[in-house]
Structure 1
Amino acid sequence: MFQLGDYGQARKVAQRSLEGKTGLDEKGQRVSWAVAAHAAFELADYADAEAGYNKLLQLSAGDKAGQETIREKLAAAIYQQGRILSEKGEAAAAAQHYLRVGRVVPDASIRTTAEYDGAASLITAGRWKMAAEVLEGFRQRYPKHELTIDVERKLALAYLQNGQPLEAAVVFERVAVAPLATEVQQQAAWQAAELYQKAGSDKRAVSAFKRYVKRFPQPLEPAMEARQQLVELYQRQQEPAKRDYWLRQIVAVERKAGAAGSERSRYLAAQAALRLAEPEYTAFVKIPLKRPLARSLKRKKRQMQRAIKAYDLAAGFAQADVTTLATFRLAEIYRLFGESLMTSERPAGLSAEELEQYELLLEEQAYPFEEKAIEAHELNARRAAQGVYDDWVRQSFSQLAQLNPARYAKQEQGEREFNEMR
């Protein structure tokens, strides 16, 4: 009857034979249990099929070849119980059956599929911790399986949802070097670095962002963002030399970028150049002009040129908020240099007449720098007419009112009235 496909009747007859008063011999029991179990399987009564296969295994202890086939059917019966629950939307219960396959029949050919489906069901049920454990087990048991990459992605998700960012970052790093499309590798590498950073593991974040820049220099914008993250990480770690190295990298890469550059990459480069310029400005301000004047003047001029070059570079990226600050600083460099000349230490032993001549000479030397300061501040002030009116433009107006009060003091008053109206 089983061979004829009459599974319901075959099952009934097999069960009656097993319940009969006249006991069957061992071979007869094996045949009846086999028909009962297989018929139950065909009728989708997988729980009963599982029970039948377990009984059949007990009766077939000496038949290794036969047992292997029965064990495969047993694994399939357990798996199918999970599938039915899965189709009903009972993900957590389904997972339990899927995972039983590996516990009951560890060497079953269907185990890999069962483990994978079990993990997927646990994810659906929101059992993140258990899902991560199952997926880790899968990855370790089957490192070269075709599903491994998808397992890694699910594992990263499970770790993230379970509040384990460091573990998720490690997984993303593995995905980043897996044989996948470049954009997938790139995204995984970025996620790994970002997760290390969010988890407070700065050293690992630094390593991850460095690897990102090295492996994915293009597209330019995300690579520039990675360099910017390295700047901030080294700033937080109080390592100014390494921070400045990456600031210089941002500037250098953008200068060579050409058409590959973007508004964002130019902005990052402008900010980086500005941060590199500020110490040059501070160093310039701190150099006093004292006796012997020739020596200190040489030092201050050299530092002035370094600061001017640095601010010119920052302004060259044409980012409004950076350009106005850089222009203001350039104007102040010229103004402060002229002031330094006028307040410099006088040579000893000068007569009153000689001192007067010396000071006239200083005024002649300082005047062109004051003019340059006025020109730079005027350049900033003109930006107000172009709709750029930030703190640095306002401060340029204030400086012009002091440097050239006849022309700008009244304008500054009008500016204040304009601000009040706004």
Structure 2
Amino acid sequence: MKPVAGLFLCLMLVVPAAAQEAFRVELGRDGETIGDMRPVFLTFESRPMPAISPSEVARRYHRLFRTSDEPEVRIDALNRLSNIRDRSGSDVGLSASEEEQVYSEAISSYESILERGSYGGRLDELLYQMAKAHALTGQQDASFQRLKQLVGLYPKSPLVPEARFRLAESAFAAGRYTEAETGYLHLINSDAGGELGIKARYMLGWSQFKQGPSAWNRAAATFIRVLDEFLPSAQSLGSVSDSSVDTIDDTFRVLALMAARNSGTETLIAWLDGSRSHHWEHLLFDRLADYYAVKGETIASVAANQAFIDYSPSHRAVPAFRLQIVDVWQAAGDPEQVRNARAEFVASYSQDSAYAALTGEQKNKWLSYSKRLADYHYDLATRLVEQGRVAKAESAFAEAAVYYAHLAPRIDQSGEMLRLAGDAWLQARDFPKALTNFRRAAYESPGYSEAADAAWAAIALLRNSLDRPTTVSAFQPELKDVSNEANRFSGRFEGDSRIPGLMADLAARWLAAGDHQLALDYGSRVLTAPTASPAERYAAWQVMARIRQEEGDYGLAERAWGQALNLAESERLANVTEEQVSAIRKQLATSVYRQAELAVSSGRLGEAVGHFRRVDSVLPGSDVAIRARYDAANTLLKASDWGAAVGDLQSFRADFPQHELTAGISEKLVHAWIQSDEPTRAASELLQAADNHANPWSLKLRAAELLNQAGNVAERNALYRDYLATAPKAESGAEHEQLQTFRHRLVEAGDNPDAWREVLVQSELDSTWHTADTLEWASRSSLVLGARAAALFTSIRLSQPLEQSLARKQKALESARQRFLDAEALGGERVLSESLFRRAELYRGLAKDLMASAVPADLNELEAMQYQMLLEEEAFPFEDKAIQLHTENHRRITAEGYDPWIGRSLGVLAELHPGRYERSVKWLGWTMEIRDGV
């Protein structure tokens, strides 16, 4: 049942046949309990065996006993019969009843001899035989008396030790245990050796035990001494004789019983005396554990086993005790404790050195327990996951992983255990350990049929960690790690159907990572793999296409996209959606479009137009196709193919009137018309576009400029008038110049010029922005307006009543004078000569008109003379003012040089002061020359 208990079944020692026991006396047989047990003792008397058969000798002595009338002869015959039987072990022909009858008859012979007081043999032997005879006939008291006589009369007799033993036995059987203890001690102290001494010590222990708990410490010490005598060395444990087995077993049993009825293992350890070792002590702990187990005291039994483990942790029997704990819990029906005990056993021998010390059966137990514990924790973790208890589940998975990993190197096929360990570590989120175990299962477990799946699990772990980065600081794989793992996988498991898909996935990942070369390499491996599925080729072609497109190799990109599109539209790929097909078509169209753009950038404009126009055949009606048509027209513009460009642009606008690109068509058409020297058509396009424009005048004014270039003055002026009628306000110098330009052109076109001159002059005077042109235009317009005012002034005649006509004339003079002043303010030196002349002439004309005005008719001559004198006095200041202005004009010769208006002022001055100004003069240019030495 237990690993230790079975020891006694194999402890056998063959007794030598050189001697036999003289006789055997059984004072009682074993009872049902220890309390009922009776000791068994043997006495030995060694004599040489006769040369004839024991049965024949016994027959003769038996006949002699029956036929002889001599007591001595009969007693001697009986002695010899007994010796023959005991030493040979043979049946001498006497049954138990016959033997009792024989000894009953022999008693009279013994007594007869004693009464005579003469006996030829030894009296100690006679007393011994008489005691035996009385014992066999049931006369115990008489037997004890003879034994006492033997001890008292012949203390030196070799039969005394046995006599003392029998006396002690008698006391023990009668329940006089103290007396029995004394008897056994006396025998032991008398140096009785051999088997009798051992038996005496054994019975001494029982006599002490029978005295109750107060004597148990003495009994324990005695029994321990008995065990030391029976089992003096480690080798003796394997060589116990059959006759000693029961004695040893009973000794262990009574020690266990006493310890259990005391403090259990604490008492046992105190009895053993830790200062010395006993080769058999593990058997005693085992017997105590058994005692508890039989009584159903499971916890105590486990404690007893554990006590020995703690007491002697390095003992070779410790593994057996650990296993016995498992058995005890299993017998008690406590599965949780069974698991704990198994776990303790497995943990205790996880180290290789500890495991190596186990027996073959113990190793098998370790392997079995490890697997069962691993499976249990894995199943438990799975249930915990289903219950949503994630943290506990991860802990259980980790425990399962440890068991699987430790189990793997100790079985022939380690691959499956390593893969299970990897899976458990994965569930426990210990990704580095999971990866290690998957790799070991895949690449370090020869003959493992599922090695490819284990290797694939390693790849999946790394790849999943890329998709869902973990929080495990020790596990942050990079894409290169996945690539290395994939390369290792494809190298070891060439031909595995999963390789093309893996290569396709890596191609896509390296594309996303920006390493085009690696992406191309993996994509090429897919396309050259004969086992690649349409779906995998489809994915690889897309990667190739994207790389070529990103690298600007649009021709190859178009080819790759075309292959992908063929696969997508074929029946071999049923799961490709319409949206995906549409996306590929768009990419294909884009690659064609990019080829066109590349041709444009390289100056191959004709080729570019061809590519642009080809886009519509790839993806008709798509946005990219529409844009390609638009770009084709733009490319024609760039190529200066104005006619073709205009045709494409107009066609685009007609086909896509609402497209966002259509809004720019008008500008491009304008550009084309302008470049083809048709400004009128360009202006017409602008005017047409202005109808729907948010700021129509920006287009109309551009049209007006084009009409101006085309010489279409009437349409131009109409636009100018309409725009100026909106009373625009200049917000910048450029806008001011533009408005003044429009007014100036209207003036030049003779379209109500004086009205535009007035606006032009006033605008320039009001503005803070001026240019040379606007100042020139305004000053000239002001001079013209002044001249108009001067003509009006001249046309007003002074008549009676003078005050009224003079007032009108002065008003006209002031208007003309202000125009000239405005011209000076705007034109500066460029118009000053003319302005001074015209202003002077205004004053001179007023003076002349005053002098020439008619005298009122109702004046007499004196009054008329006085009136005339008054007119002269009034006219003189005006004439003087005119002379001053002409003189000022004259003086400008030195600074500005001569001009016609200065010349005209000189003419007037010559007329007014002939002596001073009326002379022939010639204006010469000269320079002073400084000559050295003059």
User: Fold conserved (TM > 0.5)?
Assistant: yes
Residue 709 of structure 2 corresponds to residue 198 of structure 1: yes
Alignment partner of 1:367 out of 846, 870, 876: 876
Structure 1 residues 374 and 93: alpha-carbon distance in aligned structure 2, compared to 1, 3 A threshold: same
Report what 1:69 is aligned to.
583
Aligned to 1:418, what secondary structure does the other structure show?
Answer: coil
Q: For the Cα contact (< 8 Å) 1:76–1:110, is it kept in 2?
A: yes
Tell me the CA shift for residue 130 of structure 1. 3.8
* Contact 1:251–1:269, Cα closer than 8 Å, also in 2: yes
Residue 306, structure 1, aligned to residue 306, structure 2: no
Distance 2:526 2:637 in 1: 40
Aligned-pair Cα RMSD in Å:
4.8
Deviation of residue 374 (structure 1)? Answer: 0.6
> Is the counterpart of residue 127 in structure 1 residue 641 in structure 2?
yes
Maintained 8 Å contact 1:102/1:108: yes
- What's the offset of the Cα at 1:329? 0.7
2:734 corresponds to 1:228 = no
CA distance in 1, matches of 2:895, 2:699: 43
Q: Is the 8 A contact 2:541 2:564 kept in 1?
A: no
The amino acid across from 1:97 in the alignment is H
State the Cα distance separating 1:380 from its structure 2 match.
0.8
User: Does the aligned pair in 2 maintain the 1:172–1:192 contact within 8 Å?
Assistant: no
CA distance in 1, matches of 2:593, 2:563: 15
Structure 2 residue matching 1:289: 3-state secondary structure: coil
Q: Percent identity?
A: 25
| 263 and 237 in structure 1: CA distance in 2 versus 1, 3 angstrom threshold | closer
- Per mean C-alpha deviation after superposition, the further-off stretch among 5-14 and 369-378 is 5-14
CA shift for structure 1 position 403: 1.4
Structure 2 residue aligned with 1:418: 924
Aligned to 2:824: 315
1:250 pairs, out of 751, 754, 763, with: 763
Alignment of 1:171-186 (within 5 A): none
Correspondence 1:166 to 2:683: yes
Decide whether the 8 Å contact of 2:758 with 2:785 is kept in 1: no
Structure with higher helix content: 1
Residues 758 and 782 in structure 2, CA contact (< 8 A), matched pair in contact too: no
**Could you tell me which residue of structure 2 aligns to residue 330 of structure 1?**
839
- Seen in structure 2, the aligned counterparts of structure 1 residues 288 and 209 have a Cα distance that, compared at 3 Å, is closer
- Over 3 Å counting, the alpha-carbon distance change for 1:110 and 1:38 in structure 2 is farther
Contact 2:840/2:882, CA 8 A, preserved across alignment: yes
1:78 aligns with 2:592: yes
- CA deviation profile, 1:208-238 (whole Å, cap 9, x unmatched): 5777953x522x3x23312322322432262
Normalised TM-score (structure 1): 0.70
Deviation (angstroms), 1:373: 0.9
Q: Return the alpha-carbon distance in structure 1 between the equivalents of residues 526 and 568 of structure 2.
A: 20
Give yes or no for contact 2:737–2:771 (8 Å, CA) kept in 1: no
User: Aligned equivalents of 2:831 and 2:785: distance in 1?
Assistant: 12
Q: Which amino acid aligns with 1:333?
A: L
Q: Distance in 2 between matches of 1:56 and 1:205?
A: 65
Larger Rg: 2
Indicate conservation of the 8 Å contact 1:196/1:205, yes or no: no
Paired residue for 1:238?
Answer: 751
Contact 1:75 1:105 in 2 (8 A): yes
* Inter-partner Cα distance in structure 2 for 1:419 and 1:355: 53
Which is further off, 31-40 or 200-209?
31-40
Matches within 5 A, 1:204-219: 204-207=719-722, 213-214=728-729, 216-218=730-732
Distance 1:242-1:313 versus aligned 2 partners, 3 A rule: closer
1:126-145 paired onto structure 2 within 5 Å: 126-132=640-646, 134=648, 137=652, 140-143=657-660
CA gap of 1:241–1:87, structure 2 versus 1, over 3 A, is closer
CA distance in 2, matches of 1:92, 1:210: 49
* TM-superposed deviation, 1:332: 0.5
Q: 2-side partners of 1:109 and 1:375: how far apart? A: 81
In structure 2, relative to structure 1, the CA distance for the partners of 1:13 and 1:127 (3 Å cut) is farther
In structure 2, distance between residues paired with 1:356 and 1:83: 100
Q: Residue 107 of structure 1 aligns with which residue? A: 621
Separation in 1 of the partners of 2:851 and 2:883? 17
Which moves more between the two structures, 296-305 or 360-369? 360-369
Q: 1:343 aligns with which of 852, 857, 862?
A: 852
- Residue of 602, 607, 610 corresponding to 1:93: 607
Please state how far the C-alpha of 1:188 moved relative to its aligned partner.
Answer: 8.5
Q: Output the TM-score relative to the length of structure 2.
A: 0.35
